[in-house]
Amino acid sequence: MASIFTKIINDEIPCYKIAETDEFFAFLDINPNAKGHTLCIPKQEVDKLFDLDEATYNGLMQFSRQIAKAIEIAIPCNRVGLTVIGLEVPHAHVHLIPLNAMEDAKFGKKESLTPEEFQAVADAIKAAL
Ligand code: 5GP
């Protein structure tokens, strides 16, 4: 069965999209630790990040770096953190999280945004790419 992220890539489930290439896709996390929390994924559906083939792994890191640079411009923050977990969704992904405090890196903490706020954040990051 297709992962929830494959359904997002295929436009079967809506998302606040940031960027897309032939191989990669970036969109806002629906339950963000902080405003601007973004997920970067390969279109290829592989569960664990470190099981990706080397070219896809390196490509995902390069793609994530470009997105992180845009987040840093668009979202006021001290820096953008990168986290890999994958316990919830078995489709490799990188979390990019704007950090101002250690609390922002903790997955218990969640930010509540309206649809309009999500869209404004996505638009701001896209504009900074
Ligand atoms: P992990 O697998 O790394 O533990 O967490 C998966 C992440 O994906 C979580 O931060 C969760 O909020 C996010 N997520 C799960 N389902 C969806 C969804 O349908 N849309 C979006 N945008 N994010 C999701």
| Residue extents of the structural domains in the chain | 4-128
Burial readout 93-115 (b: 16 or more C-beta within 10 A, e: otherwise) = bbbbbbbeeeebeeeeeeeebee
Tokens of 48: 């664990």
Question: How far does the centroid of ligand 1 lie from the alpha carbon of residue 78, in Å?
Answer: 23
One of 3.30.70.640, 3.30.200.20, 3.30.428.10, 2.40.110.10 is the CATH number of 4-128, namely: 3.30.428.10
Longest CA span, the chain: 39
Per-residue pLDDT of the chain (129 residues; tens, 9 = 90+): 899 999 999 999 999 999 999 999 999 999 999 999 999 999 999 999 999 999 999 999 999 999 999 999 999 999 999 999 999 999 999 999 999 999 999 998 789 999 999 999 999 999 999
Catalytic residues: 93
The set of protein residues with a Cβ atom below 6 angstroms from ligand 1 is 4, 13, 15, 27-31, 39, 85-89
**pTM of this prediction exceeds 0.75:** yes
